[in-house]
Amino acid sequence: SHIYNGLYSDFPQLKNDTFLRAARGEETQHVPVWCMRQAGRYLPEFRESRAGKDFFETCRSPEACCELTLQPLRRFSFDAAIIFSDILVVPQAMGMDVQMVPGKGPTFPDPLKDPEDLQRLRVKVDVNTELGYVFRAITLTRHKLEGKVPLIGFTGAPWTLMSYMIEGGGSNTHSKAKRWLYQHPEASHMLLRMLTDVIVEYLLGQVAAGAQALQVFESHAGILGPAEFKEFSLLYLRDIARRVKDKLKEDGQDVPMIVFAKDAHYGVEDLSQSHYEVVGLDWTIDPRSARERTGGKVSLQGNMDPCALYAPKERISDIVHKMLEGFGTRGYIANLGHGLYPDMDPEHVGAFVQAVHKHSKQMIEQ
């Protein structure tokens, strides 16, 4: 069977493989759907579970991660689960202090300032020691999912993590991180290579722990121009997929990989030829033109504007229908163009999921 069962042969059998089939471009009976940040503050039960607890403490508890991952699946018929964690656990594993400050977001008290600061980072990161808590969360969650839907593992991409490590938090211009690219290109590549090495081991560890698909988040792609994107992002995105795929193949495994490079319009053709099965898209790209530019080479994922969820439910249904007509129903995974926001109405998320299933079933049956 094409359904990967991980190293743990006692994982429950997968009942809904629609997401995995769509990732591989195979026929499905409906278009699968999930949402970035589907485990999040828009859910009252999420806010209750997280109340008064430190964010990264929560990330280190496999039981808490498992519960938060499962919460959205109890409400909505999503076709995939994504493990609750964060992209910033990788800089932590490399020795950096990262805190989640309520109302402010992720904060590095001591960000990287100059190339000399690279010496502060761990050269060799043992992912089993530093990130074993994520692997344990994945294994536990894969069991508790009872084969309902596949479990997605994820990582931040090197450039996005580099920009956080230098900016020390969120930023509009990313000018501190971009300064490195222009003033210290060699040190930048050194840091990107260090991150790439950790990320490859981290993704392989997630698959060994039970992840059935992998998404790489290059959330800060759009801040780069085309040339900088090629040099400082694409190169490493490709290296990650190549190395992860080669190693998995050696072990007779195959796990679909998704690349989500937000706002990187100019990169869509290149991304479709980067060893990823799926290219994730933000809402600024027209579905038909994305299909044309990527040919039949990859499956596509996305890309409804998250803010469309503020629209009345009937309108959401119409928007979803148009999106499905644009992408087509084959080799397509419905999603938003970015994560859900905390003030979104869970009922409208439900309307989005239902609309994808309803319209796509009708389109496929015709």
Residue ranges in contact with ligand CP3 by CB under 6 A: 36-41, 50, 55, 82, 84-88, 100, 105-106, 154, 217, 219, 339
Q: Closer to ligand CP3 at the Cβ: 145 or 329?
A: 145
Q: Which position's Cβ is nearest ligand CP3?
A: 219
Residues labelled catalytic: 37, 41, 50, 86, 164
Sign of torsion, CA 196 202 203 208? positive
Q: Closer to ligand CP3 at the Cβ: 98 or 355?
A: 98
Structure tokens at 9: 């042969």
Q: Closer to ligand CP3 at the Cβ: 108 or 332?
A: 108
Residue 204: alpha-carbon gap to chain centroid? 15
What is the nearest approach in angstroms of ligand CP3 to the Cβ of residue 324?
22
d(CA 360, CA 353): 11
What is the nearest approach in angstroms of ligand CP3 to the Cβ of residue 51?
10
User: Could you give the angle at the alpha carbon of 207 between the alpha carbons of 140 and 49, nearest 5°?
Assistant: 35
What is the nearest approach in angstroms of ligand CP3 to the Cβ of residue 56?
10
* Residue-level length of the chain: 366
Instruction: Say if CB 345 and CB 309 are below 8 A apart.
Output: yes
**Which positions ≥6 away from 301 have C-beta within 8 Å?**
258, 260, 278, 279, 280, 281, 332, 333, 334, 335
The strands making up 151-156's β-sheet, listed across from edge to edge, are 81-82, 151-156, 213-218, 257-261, 278-280, 299-304, 332-336
Radius of gyration of the chain (CA): 19
What is the nearest approach in angstroms of ligand CP3 to the Cβ of residue 103?
7
Sign of torsion, CA 92 117 157 345? positive
| Residue for token pair 């590095």 | 108
* Burial class, 352, CB count within 10 angstroms (exposed 0-12 / middle 13-18 / buried 19+): buried
Q: Closer to ligand CP3 at the Cβ: 39 or 309?
A: 39
Q: Closer to ligand CP3 at the Cβ: 32 or 106?
A: 106
Q: Closer to ligand CP3 at the Cβ: 329 or 353?
A: 353
What is the nearest approach in angstroms of ligand CP3 to the Cβ of residue 337?
11
What is the nearest approach in angstroms of ligand CP3 to the Cβ of residue 190?
23
